[in-house]
Amino acid sequence: MVTKQKTQERILSLNIDNPNYGEFNGFQITFKGFDEIPRTFLPRGLPGGFRTGKYILERFKQQFGEFSLRVVKEDESAIITRGTPTRINLRYSDVIRIIDSFNTNYRTEGTKSVDRRLGSLFPNHFPQYTEIYRPNSLAAAIPSKAEEIQLTDRDKKKCIQLLPALANYDVRSQRELKRLLAGRKVLHYLHLEKLLWDFERRLGKPAKEQTWQLFFRKNLLILNPSYIELIDKPNISLSIQLPDFLLLSVDNYVDVYEIKLPKTQLLALDKSHKNYYWATEISKAISQVENYIDSISKEAHGLAMEIRKQYKLDINIVRPRGYIIAGHSKEFKHSEKKKDDFRLLNESLKNTSVIPYDDFLVRFRNLSKALKETK
């Protein structure tokens, strides 16, 4: 029997050799996951070397007293207070962010930028600082050819956070309007791509029906831009049979969704007639949706009044449509007959459609493609 021994990871160390560091002159910093000490910590590293280091060390000393500092390449930043001294692991990428923030903001903020970063990394040990936006900072940071900027995921998240602030923007020309609409298309495309990636990832994993219901409830307004409002059942005080939520379309009509699982069987075989019919689970879902539609139609006036009251929306409840998202078309892969019978059965339904998960995905892949081509 051969026993494999785990190779011990190499630990490097550096003693600070700088009289300007005062009590920290000679302080040892260790490094884990590196083949050599990063240039940032050497005298000829980044401009000024590790000049932010003294203040970081002072803040750690002020907070913890005796401590050791290890810079790690892969592990997350962490503070271990068990035992003495306190052990601090600082991820190298976090060190770079602290240095960049310090170098960028030193003239206006001094060492506050370091405090803010430490508060963000270690909220249980350092106070949180509210960031104050200085007017025109964004305009100064973005070059004239903004469309050529290579944004990181972090940049994109911040841009999305700015959208509410743009809601009150006073458009003064057609040119500004076109830019605003183009930007909206790009953001919609990016958000849609993220959701579709998440959708495909989820399809490959087992999940409960409730998980899928929550996913669609949260994301249908993004996945399908023909909807403008999601109406929650708890906000409707009428005693009528309703699904968990209703969707209001751009033309103010109401639609009903019933969400089953991707593994739900769609069709069953009638062996005596060699035809396919709706499987039990789908038959129940169709019956449920038809009951919802009937209940909504009978109480159309009262429901419309309730929605106007709660959502300030005028809606038309003529004959709601129902959609059942269930199953997967791979069920038809080896049978054209089954595929044709599914189409015929779907067309025979009056106000309801059964949509397999992968067909639903294809529809919105096409939407994403169209957005990409026009953005």
Last residue within a domain, chosen from 61, 88, 121: 121
Q: What is the pTM of this model?
A: 0.54
- Other beta carbons within 10 angstroms of residue 296's beta carbon come to 23
Q: Read out DSSP for 6-66?
A: PPPPPEEEEE---GGGGGGTT-EEEEES-SS--GGGSTTSSTTSSTTHHHHHHHHHHHHSS
What is the C-alpha to C-alpha distance for residues 368 and 373, in angstroms, rounded to an integer? 9
Phi, psi of 268 (to 5 degrees): -125, 155
Is 92 found in the same domain as 216? no
Helices (H), the chain: 53-64, 92-109, 112-121, 137-141, 153-161, 163-166, 174-203, 209-223, 280-298, 300-311, 336-348, 357-374
**300 assigned to some structural domain:** yes
Last residue within a domain, chosen from 121, 149, 183: 121
**108 assigned to some structural domain:** yes
**181 assigned to some structural domain:** no
Which residue bears the tokens 């106070």? 127
Of 17 and 8, which is predicted with more confidence?
Answer: 17
What is the C-alpha to C-alpha distance for residues 277 and 291, in angstroms, rounded to an integer? 20
- Identity of the amino acid at 208: K
What is the C-alpha to C-alpha distance for residues 35 and 9, in angstroms, rounded to an integer? 10
The burial of 134, by beta-carbon neighbours within 10 Å (0-12 exposed, 13-18 middle, 19 or more buried), is given as exposed
Give tens-digit pLDDT for 143-152. Answer: 766 666 777 7
- The pLDDT, as a whole number, for residue 1 is 37
Is 216 found in the same domain as 72? no
Q: Can you give the residue range of the structural domain that contains 76?
A: 11-121
Residue 238 pLDDT greater than 60, yes or no: yes
For all residues of the chain together, what is the average pLDDT? 81
Give tens-digit pLDDT for 30-65. Answer: 999 998 888 878 765 433 346 668 888 988 999 999
- Identity of the amino acid at 70: R
Mean pLDDT, to the nearest integer, of 79-107?
84
Last residue within a domain, chosen from 98, 121, 144: 121
Bridge partners of residue 355, in order along the sequence: 325
What is the C-alpha to C-alpha distance for residues 230 and 263, in angstroms, rounded to an integer? 26
